[in-house]
Amino acid sequence: MNVHDSEKMAGILASEGYSPAESHKDADIIIFNTCSIRDKAEQKFLSELGRLKSLKKNNPGVKIAVAGCVAQQMGARLLSRAPHVDFVLGPQNLKLVRDIANDATGSSMLEDNPMLAEEELPALRKEKGRAWVSIMYGCNNFCTYCIVPYTRGREKSRPSESIVREIEGLAAEGFKEVTLLGQNVNSYRSDVDFPGLLGKIDKVEGIERVRFVTSHPKDFSAALIEAMAELPSICEHIHLPLQSGSDRILDLMNRRYTYDDYRAKVWLLREKVPGIAITTDIIAGFPTETEEDYQATVRALKEIEYDGIFAFRYSPRPGTGAASMEGDVPEDVKLDRLQKLLDLQDSITIRKNAPFEGTVQEVLVEGASETDPMRLAGRTRTNKIVNFTGAAEEGALINVEILKAHKHSLEGRVA
Ligand code: SAM
Ligand code: SF4
């Protein structure tokens, strides 16, 4: 979501005549787009920001802005703590980047924006084949560990015509894949609900792949599973964050489902969409998590056999429900549980990837591989990363023969 917010800010600046600088030293405007989901991201930003003090001293004309969730959370305090910052810009007010470009004087832009869902902002996208598309903003769920409802405000859905218009434009530019963005896409509602929106997007000529993040398990409906089974463009991959395998912890997290509810949905999904890849998010060391709770998560990973997980050590966020809970889990225990979950998942992922060896997979080419610039990289419909040899255009859909399965990727050659 933040990557796409950055694309929108760059799009607005481009429409004002600006272009991306080679380095921050050559820039007229520097914008930090910040994340406060965990403390580590926030600390990293604060130390980067400190480094720009001397740059501002040598070049007082450069405008420095802080956007995103840390900006929203710290607000005007940032301006007094770091006087070299000129603007503070919350995630609901991206369009005000225009004011920075137009030489407005220092201010903070943090108000609730009731018109957010009606805005159509240009985006400067770097990739040629796949694009992010916002379908809704904010979140109403208040999971007790999470800062998002406080920084991104209440849920607002974009009108379906506006979304479809943007996607038709992307198809005309040659994009083949879109990923729909929202904190809880399953509660999307405008003139249609989320399965209805998918039905409309599926009809857009030229868009061969549709993905979406993130789905909240409590709202993951049978109607959505039907839509995924029936609509040809919807990719065979779902990211469905479980967070914990313990019902006691899920309740404390205010997730509003039990492990059994979750598992029943996964089994139905696997029955209706054979071969679907499933990934998840897990938090290790939520307040009061016992060895028994943690073992429930271990059992869940073994039972569901995800294609991959994103696991995090619980990080208390100021002002959230969990931050004031008793029963902090010691840092070394959190770390130990996290590492064991990651190791367990690695062994599961490698087992799940092995059957791909010898098959031919449709891959959307993303460009040079990150691990080896001599090779290309892309993704299967099931969202597996494939590094491969042979010639292909960025943004093309091609067939790749899979020669080897690894833990975090597949390896192959153009078929
Ligand atoms: N909206 C999505 C959902 O409902 O699952 C995800 C939102 S969040 C940006 C992405 C992931 O970060 C969450 O699924 C959770 O696992 C993790 N996360 C959020 N807050 C956290 C915290 N305080 N400490 C550790 N991990 C956290
Ligand atoms: Fe955070 Fe929960 Fe909303 Fe996801 S659904 S953004 S985890 S509060």
Tell me the mean pLDDT in the region 96-116: 83
Residue 235 near residue 383 (C-beta atoms within 8 A): yes
Please work out whether the CB of residue 186 comes within 6 Å of at least one atom of ligand 2: no
The closest residue, in CA terms, to atom 9 on ligand 1 is 37
**Which secondary structure element, helix H or strand E, spans residue 44, and what is its range?**
helix 39-51
- Distance separating alpha carbons of residues 257 and 269, to the nearest angstrom: 17
**All residues at 6 or more sequence positions from 44 whose CB lies less than 8 Å from its CB, including other chains:** none
Please work out whether the CB of residue 11 comes within 6 Å of at least one atom of ligand 2: no
- Distance separating alpha carbons of residues 5 and 3, to the nearest angstrom: 6
The closest residue, in CA terms, to atom 5 on ligand 2 is 141
- Distance separating alpha carbons of residues 269 and 285, to the nearest angstrom: 29
pLDDT at residue 108, as a whole number: 75
Gap from CA of 146 to ligand 1 centroid (Å):
6
- Distance separating alpha carbons of residues 23 and 306, to the nearest angstrom: 40
- Distance separating alpha carbons of residues 345 and 312, to the nearest angstrom: 13
- Taking each helix axis as running N to C, give the angle between helix 222-230 and helix 259-272, from 0 to 180 degrees, rounded to the nearest 10: 20
- Per-residue pLDDT for 105 more than 70? no
What percent of the chain has a predicted confidence (pLDDT) above 90?
94
- Distance separating alpha carbons of residues 9 and 338, to the nearest angstrom: 35
**All residues at 6 or more sequence positions from 29 whose CB lies less than 8 Å from its CB, including other chains:** 13, 18, 62, 63, 64, 65, 100, 101
Mutation test of ligand 2: which of 137, 146, 215 has the most ligand atoms closer than 8 Å to its C-beta? 146
User: DSSP label at 189?
Assistant: B
Which ligand places an atom closest to the C-alpha of 140?
Answer: 2
pLDDT at residue 262, as a whole number: 98
Beta strands at 385-389 and 277-284: parallel, antiparallel or unpaired: unpaired
More reliable by pLDDT, 328 or 106: 328
Query: pTM of whole model > 0.75?
Result: yes
Measured from the Cα of 311, ligand 1's closest atom is 16
Please work out whether the CB of residue 141 comes within 6 Å of at least one atom of ligand 2: yes
